[in-house]
Chains A and B, each alone.
Chain A
Amino acid sequence: MLNYTIRRLFFTIPTLLFISFVIFLILDMAPNDPTGNLPMTIPPEVRENIRKSLGLDAPMYVRYLLWCNQFFINEPLNLLYEWFDWCIGDCENRTRVRSWSTRSPVVDLIVERMPQTLWVVGMSYVVGILIALPIGVISAYKQYSWFDQIGTFISMIGFSVPTFFTGVLLIVIFSVWIDQDSWFWLPSIYDTTLVVDSWGNFWLQVRQMIMPVMVLALYNAAQLSRFMRASMLDNLSQDYVRTARAKGLKEKTVLLVHVLRNSMIPVVTVIALSVPQVFGGAIITEQIFRVNGLGQLLIIGIQGADIPLVQTLTFIFAVLIVLFNLVADILYGLLDPRIRYD
């Protein structure tokens, strides 16, 4: 297994380099103009100078290599320096990947936005899983019961109604219709500046997280509970379940030890595979609730033709996707004794 992991990790390097190049190529081919948002009164020569100052006059491959140098060498070295005070080379004047629109290092922007995304989107993911797994198990065990029917109906809704609809609906109900003094009132705007340093603030934080988390959790749970149900049903009809019952095991043991253990194998894989989505943020939901997370950052970057930002952010998502693919494979190997990688 270790061998396999190392081998796989090794092979991700060329893959990721290739991906980074493709991203760069696509962004370069896109009809982008970083000066496009500037006032019309700015004369063309000035625009040209601005473009030059951003390094846009250099050929594509030079710009790509520069980005590679900045991202793969300078940024890690900078992290070492900032986190561990471990200085290699010229630590103060290193050129980092900088956003064109804000001029601040892209990695700093990302680090700044990460907590909001992890809190809201990550939490929604955890809540979604916690809701989905029991629902999936019970729906499968009591197939076609009223519980299963209602579960099917709700997950159909959660699955097919877009988050921008459920989000706005919740806002209308809980922020508009319900009186602001009521216990059930919830804020529609996520306040990033809130510092949780007391129970009162913690309560505020919880309240402002409820709606975005619920919107996303519903969506995630809808998918995952269906998946869990299908996987359970696959296994419930297997011969080994009959064997387990014929041994005299309790129904609970049959279900939660024998069947669940098998059903979790594909489900865990799916969960692992979709973790990168958490980091990707939920672009729409973050917009609706004004959560300034990574999804929003990406949108701003795209709108402002901020190529280094978009390039870096997209590439980090790519890294996460490749990485969690590997994690999923490894988990599969750990959970299923029939899989041997070596």
Chain B
Amino acid sequence: MLDARATILDVANLKTVFNTRDGMVHAVNHVSFSLAPGELLGIVGESGSGKSVTMMSLLKLLPMPPAEITDGDITFDGRDVRAMSDDELRRVRGGEIGFIFQDPMTSLNPVFTVGFQIMEPLRIHLGLNKKAARIRAAELLELVGIPDATARLKDFPHQFSGGMRQRVMIAIALACDPKVLIADEPTTALDVTIQAQIIELIKELRQKLGMAIIWITHDLGVIAEIADRVAVMYAGQIVEHAEVSELFKNPQHPYTRALLETLPDMSGTRSKRLRSIDGQPPALGKAPSHCEFAPRCTHAFDRCLKENPKRRDVSDNHDVACWWDAKTGGAADA
């Protein structure tokens, strides 16, 4: 069982909503997952499926209001995150959990030098003085593969290319030796070669530093390459969750299957045509009362439109939230 392992981060039943003028947006609907030390958990899902909101909810990085965490438990390193004071929370942010965001072009502050921005977490979390922080910042830049690191500390973000900026972001996220790194689509905004470099870099850093990673992406191909486990999100819920090889071998949820079909053939021969999933992602105006994927699902039957499926175990390291049974092709007996 996965639960038997030590966990560094455990999220149970997390529910996040946005109270907007046009009503409530149910962005994250009772999401549960856990992360073992040193493990790499991939999270995939379409745009708008709530991946970012889930991660930001963990450390209350969402603007509140409109965002509100209405339910769930978040346990990090044995501590209850939701009960933390602002000060405690700040010590975790950037100190014990590092963040990398999607768009390196806008994630850095344009008017401060890269050195200043890397030194900030070093100074507040590790209490380093200016000089020590500068030395450590140069080491970090070197670690993430930026040549001529000491000199480049004085440069501003606009003097770096997109890939280099993402390296700087990684340096900031890793500055205080975090136990967990959350990478929210760190390569989506980069071109393919740079993307590969960044993935290589993070793989390498993971070996060196041994932190656990949550890697959010649209791209199952990337997941196949780096993740230990995957969670598939749809409409703010985890619909399937398994170890990587298991998921690719034995996908259960029709949505996962559809996602896998959209992948170009791994062998490179491209036998199947690249296709997208028909239909629109659901509106999140109501809390899910039935399977949110049902309207787009080729296997849907009456129950799917009446009841929202709970996650059920398929095997030891594999669970799925679906009324349809991929093995039998009929209704699951849960």
A contacts, CB < 8 Å to B:
238-240, 242-251, 258, 261-262, 265, 335-338
Instruction: Give a binary string over B88-123; 1 marks a CB under 8 Å from any A CB, 0 the rest.
Output: 001111110011010100111111100000001100
Q: Are B106 and A238 in contact (CB under 8 A)?
A: yes
Can you name 30 A-B residue pairings with CB atoms under 8 Å?
Answer: A239-B107, A240-B109, A242-B101, A242-B107, A243-B169, A244-B120, A245-B93, A246-B59, A246-B93, A246-B94, A246-B99, A247-B94, A247-B121, A247-B124, A247-B172, A248-B95, A248-B121, A248-B124, A249-B90, A249-B94, A250-B90, A251-B86, A258-B112, A261-B109, A261-B112, A262-B109, A262-B110, A265-B111, A335-B111, A338-B110
Q: Does B125 count as interface, using CB distance less than 8 angstroms?
A: yes
Q: Are A245 and B61 in contact (CB under 8 A)?
A: yes
Q: Does B158 count as interface, using CB distance less than 8 angstroms?
A: yes
Q: Does B156 count as interface, using CB distance less than 8 angstroms?
A: yes
Q: What A residues does B98 contact at CB under 8 A?
A: 246
Name the distance in Å between A317's Cβ and chain B's nearest Cβ: 33
Q: Which of B43-70 contact A (CB under 8 A)?
A: 56, 59, 61
Q: What B residues does A262 contact at CB under 8 A?
A: 109-111
Q: What B residues does A249 contact at CB under 8 A?
A: 90, 94, 120, 124
Q: What B residues does A242 contact at CB under 8 A?
A: 56, 61, 101, 107
Name the distance in Å between A266's Cβ and chain B's nearest Cβ: 12
Q: Which of B288-306 contact A (CB under 8 A)?
A: none
Closest Cβ neighbor of A236 among chain B residues = B63
Known: A245-B61, A246-B61. A239 touches B101 (CB 8 A): yes
Name the distance in Å between A75's Cβ and chain B's nearest Cβ: 42
Closest Cβ neighbor of A265 among chain B residues = B111
Q: What A residues does B59 contact at CB under 8 A?
A: 246
Closest Cβ neighbor of A235 among chain B residues = B109
Identify A337's interface contact among B56, B158, B172, CB under 8 A.
B158
Closest Cβ neighbor of B105 among chain A residues = A239
Using A245-B61, A248-B93, A335-B111 as known contacts, list a sample of 14 further A-B pairs with CB atoms less than 8 Å apart, ordered by residue number in A. Answer: A242-B61, A244-B120, A245-B93, A246-B99, A248-B94, A248-B124, A248-B125, A249-B124, A258-B109, A261-B112, A265-B111, A336-B110, A338-B156, A338-B158
Q: Are A337 and B111 in contact (CB under 8 A)?
A: yes
Known: A245-B61, A246-B61. A336 touches B93 (CB 8 A): no
Q: What A residues does B92 contact at CB under 8 A?
A: 248
Name the distance in Å between B139's Cβ and chain A's nearest Cβ: 18
Closest Cβ neighbor of A257 among chain B residues = B112
Q: How many angstroms from the CA of A243 to the CA of B156 in the assembled complex?
A: 16
Q: How many angstroms from the CA of A201 to the CA of B86 in the assembled complex?
A: 52
Closest Cβ neighbor of B124 among chain A residues = A248
Q: Which 3 A-B pairs have the closest CB atoms?
A: A248-B94, A247-B94, A246-B99
Q: How many angstroms from the CA of A240 to the CA of B103 in the assembled complex?
A: 10
Q: How many angstroms from the CA of A338 to the CA of B98 in the assembled complex?
A: 27
Closest Cβ neighbor of A261 among chain B residues = B111
Name the distance in Å between B129's Cβ and chain A's nearest Cβ: 17
Q: How many angstroms from the CA of A238 to the CA of B99 in the assembled complex?
A: 16
Q: What B residues does A258 contact at CB under 8 A?
A: 109, 112
Q: What A residues does B124 contact at CB under 8 A?
A: 247-250
Q: Which of B167-210 contact A (CB under 8 A)?
A: 169, 172-173
Q: What A residues does B61 contact at CB under 8 A?
A: 242, 245-246
Name the distance in Å between B114's Cβ and chain A's nearest Cβ: 11
Q: Which of B107-151 contact A (CB under 8 A)?
A: 107-112, 120-121, 124-125
Q: What B residues does A336 contact at CB under 8 A?
A: 110-111
Q: How many angstroms from the CA of A239 to the CA of B99 in the assembled complex?
A: 12
Name the distance in Å between A140's Cβ and chain B's nearest Cβ: 13
Name the distance in Å between A96's Cβ and chain B's nearest Cβ: 48
Closest Cβ neighbor of B110 among chain A residues = A338
Q: Are B107 and A243 in contact (CB under 8 A)?
A: yes
Q: What B residues does A247 contact at CB under 8 A?
A: 93-94, 120-121, 124, 172
Q: Are A243 and B99 in contact (CB under 8 A)?
A: yes
Name the distance in Å between B25's Cβ and chain A's nearest Cβ: 17
Q: Are A240 and B106 in contact (CB under 8 A)?
A: yes
Q: What B residues does A261 contact at CB under 8 A?
A: 109, 111-112
Q: How many angstroms from the CA of A243 to the CA of B169 in the assembled complex?
A: 9
Name the distance in Å between B167's Cβ and chain A's nearest Cβ: 14
Known: A247-B94, A262-B110. A337 touches B156 (CB 8 A): yes
Q: Are A239 and B94 in contact (CB under 8 A)?
A: no
Q: How many angstroms from the CA of A258 to the CA of B124 in the assembled complex?
A: 15
Q: What A residues does B111 contact at CB under 8 A?
A: 261-262, 265, 335-337
Closest Cβ neighbor of A241 among chain B residues = B109
Q: How many angstroms from the CA of A337 to the CA of B116 in the assembled complex?
A: 14
Identify B110's interface contact among A244, A248, A337, CB under 8 A.
A337
Closest Cβ neighbor of A251 among chain B residues = B86
Q: What A residues does B95 contact at CB under 8 A?
A: 248
Q: Are A240 and B125 in contact (CB under 8 A)?
A: no
Q: What A residues does B110 contact at CB under 8 A?
A: 240, 262, 336-338
Q: How many angstroms from the CA of A245 to the CA of B124 in the assembled complex?
A: 12
Name the distance in Å between B164's Cβ and chain A's nearest Cβ: 16
Q: What B residues does A248 contact at CB under 8 A?
A: 90-95, 121, 124-125
Q: What A residues does B121 contact at CB under 8 A?
A: 247-248
Known: A261-B111, A336-B111, A337-B111. A243 touches B172 (CB 8 A): yes
Q: What A residues does B112 contact at CB under 8 A?
A: 258, 261
Which of A238, A247, A258, A337 is packed against the most chain B CB atoms within 10 Å?
A247
Name the distance in Å between A245's Cβ and chain B's nearest Cβ: 6
Name the distance in Å between A68's Cβ and chain B's nearest Cβ: 44
Q: Are A239 and B103 in contact (CB under 8 A)?
A: yes
Q: What B residues does A246 contact at CB under 8 A?
A: 59, 61, 93-94, 98-99, 101, 173
Q: How many angstroms from the CA of A338 to the CA of B106 in the assembled complex?
A: 13
Name the distance in Å between B333's Cβ and chain A's nearest Cβ: 44
Q: What B residues does A238 contact at CB under 8 A?
A: 106
Closest Cβ neighbor of A237 among chain B residues = B63
Name the distance in Å between A104's Cβ and chain B's nearest Cβ: 50
Q: What A residues does B106 contact at CB under 8 A?
A: 238-240
Q: What A residues does B107 contact at CB under 8 A?
A: 239-240, 242-243
